[in-house]
Amino acid sequence: MKKALITIFVGVATAILIFVIKRALTPDPPPAAIVADGQILDNNRQLLENVNVHLHLLTMDESQVSDSQGRYKFSVQGFKPTDIGTITAEASGYKRESLNLSVQDMSVTHSIVLTAIPNTPAPPTGLVIAHPAIAQYVARPDAKRLAKATVKFP
């Protein structure tokens, strides 16, 4: 009886030891890539185009400009879900705004609202453009049709 208990104990201890060693030697799978995206808006909820958006996360430092719909999108890979990073939006005539987020929180779409700085000259044309939040389709003008309809003066 005593010999049987010792055999069972040794068998269980060996199984536990093998499990622990195997787990220690098996590397964790690399974290999945996530997309950190969102939109840039002003206080009036209008979309802002050409806003500089920066992402800083440990060893990663990337920048881009928001598109005509105020959107930005970064791909984040190789970081733990608990790692903390910063998404910063800055534009001429607006106060800089930053979000401090974990990688896990970055996977949720965020809206960044920029506040206009009072008494600031308007940004030069082509830099930051506010768009109405509701996009409407606007047909492109037909240049040939416009040329035919134009009255030519001698």
CA-wise closest residue to 63 among 71, 50, 51, 53: 53
Domain hosting 77: range is 34-131
104, 106, 111, 114: CA torsion to nearest 10: 130
The answer for residues whose C-beta is within 8 angstroms of residue 56's C-beta and 6 or more apart is 85, 86, 88
Name the percent of the chain lying above pLDDT 90.
42
Query: Within a domain: residue 29?
Result: no
Query: Within a domain: residue 44?
Result: yes
Cβ atoms of 94 and 88 within 8 Å: the answer is no
Query: Within a domain: residue 7?
Result: no
Query: Within a domain: residue 136?
Result: no
Residue ranges of the alpha helices (H) in the chain?
2-25, 103-106, 143-149
Query: Within a domain: residue 77?
Result: yes
The answer for residues whose C-beta is within 8 angstroms of residue 90's C-beta and 6 or more apart is 51, 52, 54, 96, 97
CA-wise closest residue to 73 among 34, 23, 42: 34
Q: Which amino acid is at 85?
A: G
Query: Within a domain: residue 144?
Result: no
Q: Which amino acid is at 101?
A: L
Q: Which amino acid is at 26?
A: T
CATH code of the domain covering residue 115: 2.60.40.1120
Query: Within a domain: residue 39?
Result: yes
Count of the separate structural domains present in the chain: 1
pTM of the model as a whole:
0.61
Query: Within a domain: residue 87?
Result: yes
Give tens-digit pLDDT for 103-151.
999 999 999 999 988 876 655 555 555 555 444 444 445 545 545 555 5
Longest CA–CA separation in the chain, Å: 120
Q: Predicted confidence band at 31 (pLDDT cuts at 50, 70, 90)?
A: low
